[in-house]
Structures are given as structure tokens and as C-alpha cells.
Amino acid sequence: MIVSDRFKGDTNEALKWIQDDTYWSLLPYLYTFPKGIYRQAISFTGVETELYKINREIESFDHRVLQDAHDKIAAYYRYQHPDKLGQLVLPFVAPDCSDLSLEEILEKIYTREWCNFWYAEVRRISEEPLVVRAILTAVAYQNTDDGYEAEDLLMELLHDRYGKLWDTDVILSREYRKNKSHDTLRLPPEINRRLYYI
């Protein structure tokens, strides 16, 4: 995870670092759950696709392939769940924390709530077949042009789901500039060369 400010008021540093600390344990679920959904669809249809065959053999992948997607979901969570510092922590919210400081209690609560949201959100986004295919394609063809296109598609789908205007990374991104710059579609130079100079 890249720890940075993603929107105006993104100042909950404690939550950002908890999201960073849980990154390695949570990220694989963004691949394994959709992979399970796809595997189940294949078993229903009885048709093994090329994408399925490639993913069936994958045991590990370059985390950077899904890092932007993770960071987008993490930023959206922070955007929707403002800082809890200063809120009263009632005993029934953290019953196992009677010997801890307020900061330690908040860390436990942040971690629990973030992890619960992560698992539920990955299940929710996996209900969309295009998201599942984008994730599996990005991993199957990681660090290739096809993989990069799948990563871009996944991010567009997440931008559509969560919105773009609150996320400064989107506003500053190449895709946003390309699509919003003077209402004219401009192709990045590498695609432009591929289309016209082959």
C-alpha cells in the first residue's frame, strides 16, 4: 500500500497505517475470492477458458498488479469512515480492551472494522462479472500490455463504483486527464505509436 492523502481531509494517519499493516494479509483475498467465483462458474458450464487454465496454475503474483485497487478501496473506506479519535468508546464496543489505552483500543477497533469491510467489499465487487474477469486477467497477464489494460479496466470499474471527484489520485491520473482534458480523447503516446506505426 502507498500511504498518502487521497482526498481533502484524509488525515486519519492511524487508520492509514493500519491499512498498510494489514495490506499483505488482506490483498490475496482480492484475487482468491474472485478466482473461486470464476472456478465455480467454470464448473457450472463445463467450459474451461484460457483465462481459467492460466489462473488455475497461479500460486503467487506480483502484489503491484492489485495494489492500486486495494489502495482505492482503502481510500474509499477512509472517506466513508471519518476519524474516530475523540469519540467515546463504550465497553460493549470493545469488551476485551479494559486494560488498554484509548489509542490501543482505537487501533483494535480500526483493524477489526477495516478487515470486516475489506472482506465484505471484495465479496460485493465480485458479484460483478466484469470485475472478476478484470482481476483474473490482470493477474494472469501480470506486467504485460494485456495485464496493464486489465488493471486499467479494474480501476475504471472501481472509479465508477466509488466515484471519482473525491479522489485526488484519480483527478491527477493520466486516465482522468486523458478523458477530461478539453472533452477530447487523447491516446497515450505508446498506444498512439502502436496504432499508427505498426
Rg (CA), the chain: 19
pTM for the structure as a whole: 0.78
Structure-model confidence comparison of residues 49 and 9, the more confident one: 49
Question: pLDDT at position 181, please?
Answer: 44
CA distance 130 to 133: 5
- Give CA–CA dist 125/102, Å, rounded: 34
With a cut of 90, say whether residue 9 has pLDDT above it. no
Single out the residue of 165, 178, 167, 177 nearest to residue 4, CA to CA. 167
> pLDDT > 70: what percent of the chain?
76
Q: Provide CB contacts within 8 A for 188, sequence distance 6+.
A: 174, 178
Average pLDDT over residues 129-142: 97
The CA dihedral of 88, 90, 94, 95, to the nearest 10 degrees, is 150
Q: List the one residue out of 73, 197, 92, 198 whose CA is nearest residue 135.
A: 73
- For residue 104, the model assigns a pLDDT of 83
Whether the predicted pLDDT of 92 surpasses 60: no
The predicted pLDDT at position 84 comes to 59
Give the residue with greater pLDDT, 172 vs 159.
Answer: 159
What is the tens place of the pLDDT at every residue in 138-159?
Answer: 999 999 999 999 999 999 999 9
Helix, strand or coil, per DSSP, at residue 94:
coil
The set of residues, in sequence order, having a beta carbon less than 8 Å from that of 168 and lying 6+ positions away, is: 5, 6, 7, 8
More confident residue, 135 or 2: 135
